[in-house]
Amino acid sequence: MESRIACDSTSLGAAAGVIYCAGMRPVVAVDLGGTNIRAAYYPRGTPPAVRSSRRATGAGDGPTAVLERIHAAIEDLALSAPEAEAMIIGIGAPGPLDPATGVVHHAPNLPGWHEVPLGEMLSRRWGCPVKVENDANLAALGEWGHGSGRGAHHLILLTIGTGIGGGVIVDDRLVRGWRGLGGELGHLPLVADGPRCSCGQAGHLEAIASGTAIARAYRQVGGGPADGPAITTERIAAAARAGDPRAKAVFNDAADAIGRGLSGLVHVFNPERVLLGGGVVRAGEWFTGHVERALRESLMDATFGEGLQVLPAELGDEAALLGALTLVTSDA
């Protein structure tokens, strides 16, 4: 058992007679999403969480209401006074943000969020350090710290869902770039004059291979009803498994694009592991296998592929929370 007494790093919580070492500070992790706000409490800075909470974001009510709900989500964790005094908060938010200042520049799924000083507002309310990071980057940190990226020093996570996001870790550090905007893997330009992307540009990976793009491509070849309920990638994947050639073709096209995009990233970053996450990956191994083949066939030199592992991400919905935990307990 580690000794609290031997710890000389901090006297946080000392007033209440509790001394916490830096490595075992209580951590509150928060995942702010367009639909839900989730929070989890890790008293010793390691999983599992001893308490967690979830509430609707109510994004349409605007930033002030959402911030109150974030505070309430933390309050739900029922921290004692010494715990709250010693804690550190890690929070993931959607959209471009500045991890150095904790300011969310804007968040597409959170109406009214423009230049919101999220880190400062949480820090002022709770009187503790707060670290803020983009949720897609946090998913990569989560997989690196606690998922299928464990033990790797160089990895790429690509999350293929409604959109495409991801993160890159090099030398055990998250690649953030100059202003913290790095890692927008869904916006790799692949096809000149290709389909319009959610960002407004044409031909980005997200516009070609996300779940949204797969469903659109399937409708365009006559799969699924032109009107009526939107067809899901789960249903298209089931149709592909049942032998529907149109469904297979749209998934194969997406897998080809993802593999080609990833090969470019592999050339730039030379990772030892590539992790594939997100709902579209649940289509099955035939899909991820196709992605891996397309990746390897697009490499400039086979050396890049030697020892390279392509694996499913394993944390699912927990990735951002565990990433927020990793954010505040590591130097990554």
Contacting residues toward Zn ion, per CB under 5 A: 187, 197, 199, 201, 204
Closer by beta carbon to Zn ion, 11 or else 201 = 201
Closer by beta carbon to Zn ion, 142 or else 163 = 163
Closer by beta carbon to Zn ion, 131 or else 260 = 260
Question: What are the angstrom distances between the C-alpha of 192 and each of 12, 109, 197, 198, 212?
Answer: 55, 27, 12, 16, 19
**Spatial contact of 197 and 207, defined as CB atoms under 8 Å apart:** yes
The least distance separating Zn ion from the CB of residue 93, rounded to whole angstroms, comes to: 19
Closer by beta carbon to Zn ion, 204 or else 273 = 204
Closer by beta carbon to Zn ion, 201 or else 220 = 201
In the bound complex, which residue of the shown chain has the CB atom lying closest to Zn ion? 197
Query: How far apart (Å, rounded) are the C-alpha atoms in residues 329 and 317?
Result: 20
Query: How far apart (Å, rounded) are the C-alpha atoms in residues 176 and 183?
Result: 7
The least distance separating Zn ion from the CB of residue 204, rounded to whole angstroms, comes to: 3
Closer by beta carbon to Zn ion, 4 or else 196 = 196
Burial readout 22-50 (b: 16 or more C-beta within 10 A, e: otherwise): eebbbbbbbbbbeeebbbbbbbebeeebe
Question: What are the angstrom distances between the C-alpha of 302 and each of 270, 298, 306?
Answer: 12, 9, 7
Measured torsion, CA atoms of residues 115, 177, 311, 209, in degrees rounded to the nearest 10: 60
**Spatial contact of 173 and 183, defined as CB atoms under 8 Å apart:** no
